[in-house]
Amino acid sequence: MRRTLVSATAAAAAVAAAILLGGCGGGDDDGDKATPAAPPTATATDRSGTSAGGGSSPGSPASQPAAGANPSAPVGAPPAPDAATRAKYIASLNSINPALVDGKEDRAVDRGLDVCLDLGAKKDHATVLKNIQERFGSPTVTVTADEADRIKAVANSWLCPKL
């Protein structure tokens, strides 16, 4: 009698464990093995803090960066320019005001790509210019409205000509 009670208790515990574990695995009702849930992914954000979200899962083709794309760039940003285009963009910025680049080419390119995000989002002209003045300005550099307009044209020409 005791052996039957122990066997019944063990069987009940096994069934209970299977039920509990079966509910945690995320499998479907067809009896497929449960697959672990994918870790959450961060939503890409442009440098102004606006979400540029995306709904693809980490392993989906849409979540994989395109060839030549900057993997750290916000979703929807144009790809990083090739070396020749980058050089022309930097030279154009230096012709407006050398303090805009000030030896920090990567920063200047990132800021230009942010201008492209604004253009792609169809932000109004005044907002785009204000954002340019904030992005390219510093405590030692004041970007005028005319310079902001020229920076917009340079970024549009070299970094995102399709916008």
Full-model pTM = 0.56
HSE, CB side, 13 Å, CA atoms: give it for residue 40: 4
Counted residue by residue, the chain has a size of 163
- What is the pLDDT, as a whole number, of residue 48? 43
Question: What's the pLDDT tens digit per position in 56-104?
Answer: 444 434 434 444 444 555 556 789 999 999 999 999 999 999 999 999 9
In sequence order, what are the beta bridge partners of 138?
141
Please, are residues 10 and 18 in contact by the beta-carbon 8 Å criterion? Answer: no
More confident residue, 94 or 19: 94
- Give me the half-sphere count of Cα atoms (radius 13 Å) on the Cβ side of residue 63: 12
The residue-averaged pLDDT of 149-155 equals 98
Cα dihedral 29, 32, 36, 41 sign:
negative
Average pLDDT, the chain: 72
User: 35-56: per-residue pLDDT in tens?
Assistant: 444 433 333 334 444 434 444 4
pLDDT for the residue 137 = 95
